[in-house]
Amino acid sequence: MKHRLTLDYSVPVGDLAPYFDALAEGKALASECSGCGFVAFPARNLCGACGCRDMKWRQLEGSARLLFRSDGNSSFALVKFDGADTKSTVGLIHPERTTQTGELAAPLGDAPGLWLALADDNEGNDDGK
Partner 1 sequence: MISDVLIAGGAMTPFNRRKDGSSFRDWARAAVFKALEDAGLEAADIDTLIVASESDFFTLQLNPAALLADECGMIGVAAKRVEGGGASGHVAVHAGVAEVASGMSRRVMVLGVEPSASHLKGVDVGALYGLSFDAWTDGMTGIDSTSLYALSAQAFMARTGATTNDFAAIAVANRAHARANPNAHLPLDISLQDVETSPVVASPYRRLDCSPLSDGAAAIILGRKQDLPSTARCRARFRAVSNSVDTVRLGERRDPGCFHGKHVAAQRAYTAAELSPVDIGLAEVYDSYSGAQLQALEALGLGSDEIINAARDGVFAADGALPVNLSGGLLGQGAPVGATGVAQVLTAALQLEGRYFGLQAGHAPRFALVDTHGGIATLNAVSILEAP
User: What are the residues binding partner 1 (CB under 8 A)?
Assistant: 3, 5, 11, 13, 16, 40, 42, 48, 67-74, 76-78, 86-91, 107, 111-115
- How far from 121 is each of 9, 96, 102, 128, CA to CA, in Å? 39, 9, 10, 13
Nearer to partner 1, 31 or 124 (CB): 31
- Least spacing, CB of residue 40 vs partner 1, in Å: 7
Nearer to partner 1, 63 or 86 (CB): 86
Angle CA 81–68–84, to nearest 5: 15
**What are the phi and psi torsion angles at 30 (to 5°)?**
-100, 165
CB nearer to partner 1: give 70 or 98.
70
Provide, rounded to whole angstroms, the least separation between the CB of residue 108 and partner 1: 9
As measured in angstroms, the least distance from the Cβ of 6 to partner 1 is 12
The answer to whether the CB of 83 falls within 8 A of the CB of 60 is yes
Q: How far is the CB of 107 from partner 1 (least distance, A)?
A: 7
Alpha-carbon distance of 92 to 71, in angstroms, equals 9
